[in-house]
Amino acid sequence: EPEVTQTPSHQVTQMGQEVILRCVPISNHLYFYWYRQILGQKVEFLVSFYNNEISEKSEIFDDQFSVERPDGSNFTLKIRSTKLEDSAMYFCASSERAVNTEAFFGQGTRLTVV
Amino acid sequence: AQSVTQPDIHITVSEGASLELRCNYSYGATPYLFWYVQSPGQGLQLLLKYFSGDTLVQGIKGFEAEFKRSQSSFNLRKPSVHWSDAAEYFCAVRGGADGLTFGKGTHLIIQP
């Protein structure tokens, strides 16, 4: 069964450093998403991406964050100058269409900022 | 803006007993509704979804949910739980092409 894969599964970084979280969406999917889950809290939408541009972003997704689809398979989330409060599980998701379809989630990358 | 309320933070059920997890949503039009399950340290797995049509939807692992527009609810049910059902359950709503809005989750504990 096709699945969304994320790497790495766990990343530890020092405060102020830049991190790139990587995702390989399901191959025939056109819509890509990043979500965040701070430990013990709910999953929060960060950004959606379609046709090589951001289609929607939440208040959380400020100038510190950026997304990119550098090639035909990868979808990345870059966090510049990480802060302690960026520590969370980051989930990538993809869907075939924008509507009438579900999003499939990866296993997540646990980011720990120290 | 859409929102989701899961009023029960924790629920404890005996193995073999029936289960109902509550979910209320707020959205101006007909929403797309989902239930996801998250086992410890794992990602989110889709249990079931509602887009339109029959208001009682069947999902994986023996779960079902009923969409009630008049109550703005989408409660998840299972007639007989198994110990392996212990997990965190998230209800989510999606309006159109927007990203998902999740509830805070319900932590399900199964007693032997």
Does residue A99 carry a pLDDT above 90?
Answer: no
Average pLDDT score over residue span A9-32: 96
pLDDT at A48 over 70: yes
Find, in chain A, the residue whose alpha carbon is nearest to that of B104: A42
pLDDT in tens, B85-94: 999 999 999 8
pLDDT of residue B97: 58
Rounded to a whole number of angstroms, the distance from the CA of A21 to the nearest CA of chain B is 15
What are the tens digits of pLDDT across the range A63-72?
999 999 988 7
Rounded to whole angstroms, the Cα distance separating B34 from B74 reads: 8
Chain B residues whose CB is inside 8 A of the A107 CB are 42-43
B34 touching A (Cβ < 8 Å): yes
pLDDT tens per residue across span B16-55: 999 999 999 998 777 899 999 998 878 899 999 998 889 9
Count of beta carbons in the 10 Å neighbourhood of residue A100: 11
Check whether A2 has a pLDDT greater than 90.
Answer: no
Integer angstrom CA distances of residue A67 from A52, A78, B46, B62 = 9, 6, 25, 37
Among B77, B93, B67, B39, smallest CA distance to A102 is for B93
The pLDDT value given to residue B94 = 85
CB contact under 8 A, A104 and B99: no
Contacts of B54 (CB under 8 A, 6+ apart): none
- Number of CB atoms found within 10 A of residue A112's CB: 14
Q: What is the pLDDT of residue B34?
A: 95
pLDDT of residue A72: 79
Beta-carbon count within 10 A of A37 CB: 21
Instruction: Kindly state the helix (H) or strand (E) to which residue A42 belongs, with its residue range.
Output: none
pLDDT band at A22 (very low <50, low <70, confident <90, very high): very high
Q: Is the pLDDT of residue B96 over 70?
A: no
Q: B100 and A98 in contact by Cβ < 8 A?
A: no
Residue-wise pLDDT tens digits, B42-51: 889 999 999 8
